[in-house]
Chain A
């Protein structure tokens, strides 16, 4: 996982997604082909860092490697450009994590890689 993580660190740190140079549609995670117009003329694009919660959950039984963070909130976030991100919601009182809440991206420690002990960082969101 660590090498995979290093390879896409820009996307994890800075929310680098894709922009279609034909029709302007933006996507996160990145795409190989525009989901709107079908063009393959795609370039990297930094996503806006604000959006709102479409749906959310409080996860009690997380993935291995995330046990010490549980329970934690996860949400589908619609960014202001229409792209959608699946992310943890952190540093926000539980009752503020609700559908429609405005959120903002931050960089946080994601987890410590089991084999290498390397600390992995990436995007999480907080309720604004």
Chain B
């Protein structure tokens, strides 16, 4: 079967942070309008909204139709896609799969989360819905607690030190300094991480991605809809979503992120690309330890070496493989359902030379990894410059 090609024509981002004056819908519309401007004559055939907990944060569901209406696009099919923190990447994957299969010519994907309208403890309750309520919320565990259990296991099994564990947040913050849409634009040292407030031992505040509001949008088209030169487009070379054993602690090997392993392996195969060709990776580092295990799952680092490699400069901006080029979840921010679409938008900016001071030199290929739960769902997409 002749396969369609899928391209991103344009993206739209809001800055991540405290948007006290904007609603969930305001943010979604702002990002969507910016993306739609990239192809003024195009009317997307479907809309997919990635979002995790609008019901808790804004007492609002039915986001597909809500966003379609706000954009004056009522009439077309529109859906919310929910897969915890990988809602954004998963929403994009549905749209991509439909374009690729020839079912639709174009789609608008919006990832949005409004976290600041909630009290802090409601946010932790909402995030914990990514894990099994009956066995996790019941014992009082937060999502950070689960990652802390994982972090200790990782440090003890792999002899990872406190400062090594901090190395990925340090890279994130270094890259966030020049990222206009980032929540935090301040460099940090391992010392800053080690002295920050204890959340769940051994994880401290600076091991954890912040909460914030934000929306990102991308416009996805096939060959037919992408009339004209493709010079400023980015091709989606592959995209896969996989799931793992639901609860972290039920996995045979807690230190293997099998959802990411599989999604990455399949996507690279689909793309016909060797991992060595990748110039950058946007990695889902909701916690310092998940960043390290994600790098290991994609084979960039050997097992146990994710944090250590990062500490030794393997993943800095303009190393062979740059990671989290706009700050990752830790510094760019992590408006959960929006995060995957931010990552994809950042890949677009890199591959169209619009990354400014964050530009990875001669970037031709990049990968994004967006995870829900503790690598329970993983959405991996591979991008290249459009020929």
A residues with CB within 8 A of B: 1, 4-5, 8, 12, 29, 35, 54-67, 69, 72, 74-76, 84, 86-88, 99, 110-111, 122, 124
Q: A55-B152, A59-B142, A61-B142 are in contact. Are A86 and B135 (CB under 8 A)?
A: yes
Chain B positions 107-148 with a Cβ under 8 Å from a chain A Cβ = 121-122, 124-125, 128, 132-142, 144-145, 148
Binary interface profile of B, 195-233, with partner A (CB < 8 Å = 1, else 0)?
001111111000000000000000000000000000000
Q: A4-B134, A58-B201, A64-B124 are in contact. Are A86 and B142 (CB under 8 A)?
A: no
A56 to B134, CA, bound (A): 20
Question: Which 8 A-B pairs rank lowest in CB-CB distance, beginning with the nearest?
Answer: A66-B140, A57-B148, A55-B153, A76-B249, A64-B121, A58-B201, A59-B200, A57-B200
- Answer yes or no: B150 CB below 8 A from chain A CBs: yes
State which of B134, B135, B141, B247 has its C-beta within 8 Å of the C-beta of A63: B141
State which of A8, A29, A74 has its C-beta within 8 Å of the C-beta of B140: A74
- Answer yes or no: B250 CB below 8 A from chain A CBs: yes
Check B201–A57 contact: CB distance below 8 A: yes
Check A59–B135 contact: CB distance below 8 A: no
Check A74–B249 contact: CB distance below 8 A: no
Q: Which residues of B contact A66 (CB under 8 A)?
A: 140
A57 to B122, CA, bound (A): 21
B311 to chain A, nearest CB (A): 22
Indicate the size class of the contact surface on chain B.
Answer: 35 or more
B149 to chain A, nearest CB (A): 5
- Answer yes or no: B245 CB below 8 A from chain A CBs: yes
Which of B139, B197, B247, B254 counts the most A-chain CB atoms under 10 A from its CB?
B139
Given A54-B254, A84-B250, 8 further pairs, Cβ under 8 A: A8-B134, A62-B140, A62-B145, A64-B122, A74-B145, A86-B135, A86-B141, A99-B156
B residues with CB within 8 A of A: 121-122, 124-125, 128, 132-142, 144-145, 148-150, 152-153, 156, 197-203, 245, 247, 249-250, 254
Residue of A nearest to B152 (CB): A55
Q: Which residues of B contact A29 (CB under 8 A)?
A: 132, 134-135
Q: Which residues of B contact A61 (CB under 8 A)?
A: 124, 142, 144, 199-200
Check B139–A88 contact: CB distance below 8 A: yes
Check B140–A72 contact: CB distance below 8 A: yes
Q: Which residues of B contact A12 (CB under 8 A)?
A: 138
Q: A55-B149, A84-B249 are in contact. Are A111 and B140 (CB under 8 A)?
A: yes
A92 to B203, CA, bound (A): 22
A67 to B128, CA, bound (A): 16
A84 to B246, CA, bound (A): 13
Q: Which residues of A contact B200 (CB under 8 A)?
A: 57-61, 74
Q: Which residues of A contact B139 (CB under 8 A)?
A: 74, 86-88, 110, 122, 124
Q: Which residues of A contact B132 (CB under 8 A)?
A: 29
Residue of A nearest to B135 (CB): A29
A23 to chain B, nearest CB (A): 15
Check B201–A65 contact: CB distance below 8 A: no
Residue of B nearest to A61 (CB): B199
Residue of A nearest to B150 (CB): A55
Q: A54-B153, A64-B125 are in contact. Are A110 and B148 (CB under 8 A)?
A: no
